[in-house]
Chains A and B, each alone.
Chain A
Amino acid sequence: MTTRRRLLTGTATLAGVSMVAPLMLSPVNAHATFGDYKALVCVFLFGGNDGWNMLVPRSEAEHTVYANSRQNMAIDRDDLIPITPNTTDGSEYGLHPSLIGIQGLFDAGAAAFTANVGPLIEPTTLEQYQNKSVQRPPQLFSHNDQQSQWHTLKGAAPSATGWAGRLADLLAAQTTTQMIPSTSSLFGSTTFLVGASTQPYVMGPGGPLAFSGFADTGIGLEQRLAFERIVAARQANIYGRGYAAIQQRALDNADLINTTLANAPVLSTTFANDVLSQQLQTVARLIAVRDDLQMERQVFFVALGGFDTHDDQVMLQPGLLANIDAAMTSFYDATVELNVADRVTTFTQSDFGRTLTSNGDGTDHAWGSVALTVGGGVAGRDIYGAYPLLDIGGNYDVGGGRLIPTTSADQYAATLAQWMDPTLADLETVAPNIGNFAQQNLGFMI
């Protein structure tokens, strides 16, 4: 894909990753590629999704405990959508009434939940939490810090890289043919996708934006060449160089991706018009052209905001969950249409769960929550991890109904990473705390 203009400008680079990766190869596997395709799609729910209202106890005793704790935040038992997991812990569960599509996927075995999951350094009991005898993630209950924990899994250590970026680093030797960076965000810059050598590419919700006024002939060509030479020139200041490097990546990738997307098959699956659906539709289109871009392993980051429901939760949450439901269901349908349903796994992450107690008309920042995983490669129709009794002052409550997770974000990430590469030896690079947990694969991926 070295085009005439790249030769002209002397900036014959493709995506940064594919240029860096060959230098890191060992001679043995220099030419080995996976030979197949897999993608992870992280759906980040900014603000802290109230997972306890997403997957809710439905058996009478457990629901009563839940309802007593949550009071005016509780979903009525009769309003829950019943589900029947393949395995049972003795309780019954139901879904928030907005999750109609997810219920269909769950029943079809294409969706699973992970209960009471959150950032942990090591297994933590209430007593250990209270007497501070175990390490805990710093600045619990703070938005940006706990987003960072989910993204990086780094605890108190410096968090310059994210787990998906580090996973991409590990896969780089086998993805040398890839023509664009192996990690892409459709929702702004995120450390989640940054690796030691992996540099993510950020596009818009509808895909890359092309530079205005550029053309392949005439004055438009001259303008593009001038612009490219200006961007390629050495800048005298570190921030100028940082800016120029981003412009360079935009030049390197946008036209290539847009040209490829222009030839993509039109999906018959319809998506709603909201910002999350738009992003997932673009991801589906990018997956549709995976072979043209010679992609074998990809991680995408999409997101939706508005989950910080301190106010008006009862009014706001149904719409938020309906949005997730519609977007993730459409996306799953698109992967079926593209015949890659078992090759693409969508999973949620969020800042934290929310308090079981109410602040009057909403809930506040807490810790453990419920995560959702969707795809044909998911060992679906089940709940993984232990769903706790939702009582105030219970076994995991550090106060106000903030529950200590019983499954760690490291375990969640490690399970997804092992699906991307079943031979992955270096789990600790992806999930640095995984060694502290007995179960290194939660089993929710086939």
Chain B
Amino acid sequence: MDVNRMLCTAMACLLLMASGCGGGGSSSSPPPPPPPPPPPVVITTPEAFVFLNQATFGATLANAQRLIDLGYEGWVDEQLAQPASLKLPHLQSLPVPTQPQTLQTDRVDIWFRNVINGDDQLRQRVAFALSEIMVVSQLGALNRSPYALADYYDVLVRGAFGNYRDLLEEVTLHPAMGVYLSMLGNRKPDTANNIRPDENYAREVMQLFSIGLVQLNSDGSDQLDDGGLPIPTYDQATIEGFAHVFTGWHWADAPNGFLSARPSLENQIKPMQLYPDFHDDGVKLLLNGEMIAANQGGVADLDQALDNLFNHPNVAPFISYRLIQRLVSSNPSAAYIGRMSSVFNDNGQGERGDLGALVKAILLDPEARALTRTDTGGKLKEPLLRLTQLYRAYDAQSQSGRYPLVFAYVALGQGVLQSPSVFNFFSPFYAPPGEIQDQGLVAPELQIATEYQNTFLTNTLFDQTFVNQSENLANLGEDDVYLDIAAEVAIADDIDGLVALVADKLMAGEISPTLDAQVKQMLGRTQPTDTALRAAETIYLIASSPEYALQR
């Protein structure tokens, strides 16, 4: 955390106290009596599943017991202290291939290993959410740079509970981002040749990573002008200001300066380096009319510009809304977003941008923990998470120990660092036609739940349950990821017991009467001796059901 930020945060606190909004000011009235201690929270298994599907890559009965033992806060605190499972060390442990893109398979493999089997579940889940906000993608030039992608993801994993300002700087200077949004190699103007700085990163870091297009209230709602229209956060002049800030950076350690900079095994995992001769040293316009003075140098320019972005009041509701959407619900209430903005703006110890505190607050908030299920609460599961949840519930593995699922994104419409563009797989604002749109709600995940993609996902679940499972092991390759369905097969002659077992593992027993009846009716058409078929059929019909697609 840098000194500037400490000062800014401290000043913001003073201002808040002076205006009477802060909680810590002295007061002449006697302090209220302390509230009575809350009754001990008894967490049921279904409640534990709801929580764990928000906070991990899939609830399991074992994890649920751990949560019940520790309580919500205790569980989160334990997770916050878990060491990070990383990706780059795994890639570096492998021989350097002649075709570097083959390592993309290993990059995806180690991601699955970490999220299926790793202990730092919450950190991994938040890192994945961040990878859908600060997006880079293998699909494009970065296919050639698996080390850079692995290291970029490790930045998100390490930074998941750190400070957003630090993360913003690491992301900005990471060569993966430099390649993806073309800040790498961006240079000062050459007016004689009508060449001006590249605006790509300048635009997207504001629109997609930090503040968005329009001024927000702290509860996430748009601020409106007198005509009732949203107020833009920046204009073309601001973009050009930031574009000039982001000049002069290139692959690190170029032997003969900027123009000789080339990627190497070493510098694709190092922050980009400033080559001062190619940095624009003029004055530059930032947000809210702030100016960068001439001749500060590229590092000081970057520091000031990122502070300017970081201190914009939009960042709190912008990041809070997106993290809530990724973890908990598509349509959080304004009050929920507002509470999270407060935590982002001040974690209680005067620090702005503490992501660990924000994540904890998101998960412990009464709205996330509400026991009453509403018609519009929760969200659709992301397709990749549906697969990992199934994998965790059924201890999915391959004989080789690998999960080489680098092309799974084609079937799922989603894969880690495999977005089709910087706009992620779906928009936070996507409102599908029909009752969701009619009610003014959004459902981001439904943007990729097309007829085509849903069928592809459903068929993937079919293959996973009927083909890639333990009863069929003799026919599987050593890299085929399979489900362990032995327990289901063992009791498959008992239809009620079988359905109950699967419903327990996947839904903490909360299967709807209709689904329960339909699965049992189907199983009734099979022979009691068709044990593998029955087990597969049960898992398939539940895992492919609309109610399992929902994250409550």
Q: Which of A249-299 contact B (CB under 8 A)?
A: 249-250, 253-254
Chain B residues with Cβ below 8 Å from A27 are none
> With the chains together, A234 CA to B515 CA distance in Å?
10
Chain A residues with Cβ below 8 Å from B455 are 208-211, 250, 254
Chain B residues with Cβ below 8 Å from A231 are 546
- A37 to B: closest C-beta gap in Å: 24
Contact for A237 among B186, B446, B518, B550, CB less than 8 A: B550
> With the chains together, A281 CA to B186 CA distance in Å?
40
- B550 to A: closest C-beta gap in Å: 4
> With the chains together, A261 CA to B195 CA distance in Å?
51
Cβ A364 vs Cβ B195 within 8 A: no
Asked if A144 is at the interface of the complex by the 8 Å CB criterion, the answer is yes
Chain A residues with Cβ below 8 Å from B453 are 188, 202
Asked if B67 is at the interface of the complex by the 8 Å CB criterion, the answer is no
- B230 to A: closest C-beta gap in Å: 8
Contact for B196 among A139, A238, A357, CB less than 8 A: A357
Cβ B198 vs Cβ A239 within 8 A: no
Which of A66-74, A78-86, A320-328 binds B?
Answer: A66-74
Asked if A352 is at the interface of the complex by the 8 Å CB criterion, the answer is no
- A165 to B: closest C-beta gap in Å: 9
Of B195, B330, B521, chain A has the most CB atoms within 10 Å of the CB of B195
- In the complex, residue of chain A having the shortest beta-carbon distance to the beta carbon of B463: A212
Cβ B459 vs Cβ A211 within 8 A: yes
Contact for B466 among A204, A213, A360, CB less than 8 A: A213
Asked if A194 is at the interface of the complex by the 8 Å CB criterion, the answer is yes
Chain B residues with Cβ below 8 Å from A244 are 546
- A417 to B: closest C-beta gap in Å: 20
- In the complex, residue of chain A having the shortest beta-carbon distance to the beta carbon of B441: A238
Cβ B550 vs Cβ A240 within 8 A: yes
> With the chains together, A362 CA to B544 CA distance in Å?
45
Interface size class of chain A, counting residues whose CB lies under 8 Å from the partner chain: 35 or more
Asked if A105 is at the interface of the complex by the 8 Å CB criterion, the answer is no
- A261 to B: closest C-beta gap in Å: 14
Cβ A226 vs Cβ B547 within 8 A: no
- B262 to A: closest C-beta gap in Å: 15
> With the chains together, A364 CA to B197 CA distance in Å?
9
Cβ B195 vs Cβ A194 within 8 A: no
Asked if B539 is at the interface of the complex by the 8 Å CB criterion, the answer is no
Cβ B197 vs Cβ A359 within 8 A: yes
Which of B269-277, B305-313, B432-440, B493-501 binds A?
Answer: B432-440
> With the chains together, A211 CA to B463 CA distance in Å?
11
Asked if A216 is at the interface of the complex by the 8 Å CB criterion, the answer is no
Cβ B546 vs Cβ A240 within 8 A: yes
Cβ B378 vs Cβ A237 within 8 A: yes
Q: Which of B421-453 contact A (CB under 8 A)?
A: 421, 423, 427, 431-437, 439, 441, 443, 445-453
Cβ B459 vs Cβ A209 within 8 A: yes
Cβ A365 vs Cβ B203 within 8 A: yes
> With the chains together, A360 CA to B379 CA distance in Å?
44
- In the complex, residue of chain A having the shortest beta-carbon distance to the beta carbon of B411: A209
Chain A residues with Cβ below 8 Å from B545 are 230
- B472 to A: closest C-beta gap in Å: 14
Asked if B348 is at the interface of the complex by the 8 Å CB criterion, the answer is no
Cβ B462 vs Cβ A213 within 8 A: yes
Cβ A188 vs Cβ B448 within 8 A: yes
> With the chains together, A70 CA to B195 CA distance in Å?
9
Cβ A242 vs Cβ B446 within 8 A: yes
Cβ B427 vs Cβ A144 within 8 A: yes
Asked if B236 is at the interface of the complex by the 8 Å CB criterion, the answer is yes
> With the chains together, A143 CA to B199 CA distance in Å?
13
Asked if A6 is at the interface of the complex by the 8 Å CB criterion, the answer is no
- In the complex, residue of chain A having the shortest beta-carbon distance to the beta carbon of B522: A226
- B376 to A: closest C-beta gap in Å: 5
Interface string of B507-536 (1 = CB under 8 A from A): 000001011001101100110000001000
Cβ A203 vs Cβ B451 within 8 A: yes
> With the chains together, A222 CA to B379 CA distance in Å?
30
Cβ B185 vs Cβ A360 within 8 A: yes
Of B229, B463, B550, chain A has the most CB atoms within 10 Å of the CB of B550
Cβ A222 vs Cβ B451 within 8 A: no
Cβ B433 vs Cβ A160 within 8 A: yes
Chain B residues with Cβ below 8 Å from A401 are 194
Cβ B446 vs Cβ A160 within 8 A: no
Chain A residues with Cβ below 8 Å from B463 are 212
Chain B residues with Cβ below 8 Å from A306 are 140
Cβ B193 vs Cβ A72 within 8 A: yes
Contact for A364 among B200, B230, B458, B541, CB less than 8 A: B200
Chain A residues with Cβ below 8 Å from B74 are none
Interface string of B329-373 (1 = CB under 8 A from A): 010000000000000000000000000000000000000000001
- A124 to B: closest C-beta gap in Å: 16
Cβ A156 vs Cβ B194 within 8 A: no
- A186 to B: closest C-beta gap in Å: 8
Asked if A189 is at the interface of the complex by the 8 Å CB criterion, the answer is yes
Cβ A219 vs Cβ B547 within 8 A: no
Cβ B434 vs Cβ A358 within 8 A: no
- In the complex, residue of chain B having the shortest beta-carbon distance to the beta carbon of A197: B433
> With the chains together, A298 CA to B446 CA distance in Å?
24
Contact for B213 among A142, A235, A356, A357, CB less than 8 A: A142
Cβ B375 vs Cβ A242 within 8 A: no
> With the chains together, A361 CA to B194 CA distance in Å?
12
Chain B residues with Cβ below 8 Å from A72 are 193, 195
Cβ B544 vs Cβ A139 within 8 A: no
- In the complex, residue of chain A having the shortest beta-carbon distance to the beta carbon of B237: A399
- In the complex, residue of chain A having the shortest beta-carbon distance to the beta carbon of B201: A310
- In the complex, residue of chain A having the shortest beta-carbon distance to the beta carbon of B380: A239
- A236 to B: closest C-beta gap in Å: 7
> With the chains together, A256 CA to B546 CA distance in Å?
23
Asked if B187 is at the interface of the complex by the 8 Å CB criterion, the answer is yes
Chain A residues with Cβ below 8 Å from B427 are 144
- In the complex, residue of chain B having the shortest beta-carbon distance to the beta carbon of A199: B433
Asked if B454 is at the interface of the complex by the 8 Å CB criterion, the answer is yes
> With the chains together, A210 CA to B456 CA distance in Å?
9
- In the complex, residue of chain B having the shortest beta-carbon distance to the beta carbon of A160: B437
Cβ A189 vs Cβ B447 within 8 A: yes
> With the chains together, A359 CA to B432 CA distance in Å?
37
- B521 to A: closest C-beta gap in Å: 7
Cβ B373 vs Cβ A238 within 8 A: no
- In the complex, residue of chain B having the shortest beta-carbon distance to the beta carbon of A359: B198
Asked if A10 is at the interface of the complex by the 8 Å CB criterion, the answer is no
Cβ B194 vs Cβ A212 within 8 A: no
Interface string of A135-149 (1 = CB under 8 A from B): 000111111110000
Chain A residues with Cβ below 8 Å from B378 are 237, 239
A141-B236, A210-B455, A239-B378 in contact; A358/B193 too (CB < 8 A)? Answer: yes
Asked if A437 is at the interface of the complex by the 8 Å CB criterion, the answer is no
Cβ B195 vs Cβ A357 within 8 A: yes
> With the chains together, A231 CA to B236 CA distance in Å?
48
10 tightest Cβ-Cβ pairs between the two chains A and B: A202-B450, A359-B198, A226-B522, A250-B451, A244-B546, A310-B200, A212-B459, A310-B182, A212-B462, A209-B455
14 additional contacts, CB 8 Å, given A143-B421, A231-B546? Answer: A160-B437, A202-B451, A209-B456, A219-B533, A234-B514, A236-B547, A237-B552, A238-B439, A239-B330, A240-B547, A242-B436, A308-B421, A358-B193, A359-B199
Can you list 24 A-B pairs, Cβ within 8 angstroms, ordered by A? A141-B236, A142-B207, A160-B431, A188-B450, A199-B434, A202-B450, A203-B452, A208-B451, A211-B459, A212-B459, A230-B514, A233-B515, A233-B546, A237-B375, A238-B443, A239-B330, A239-B378, A242-B380, A242-B435, A243-B454, A311-B200, A357-B196, A360-B185, A401-B194
Residues of A that sit less than 8 Å from B by CB: 46-47, 68-72, 138-145, 156, 160-161, 185, 188-189, 194, 199, 201-204, 208-213, 219, 222-223, 225-227, 229-231, 233-247, 249-250, 253-254, 305-306, 308, 310-311, 356-362, 364-365, 392, 398-401
Residues of B that sit less than 8 Å from A by CB: 140-141, 181-182, 185-187, 190, 193-200, 203, 207, 213, 229-230, 232, 236, 239, 330, 373, 375-380, 420-421, 423, 427, 431-437, 439, 441, 443, 445-456, 458-459, 462-463, 466, 512, 514-515, 518-519, 521-522, 525-526, 533, 537, 541, 544-547, 549-550, 552
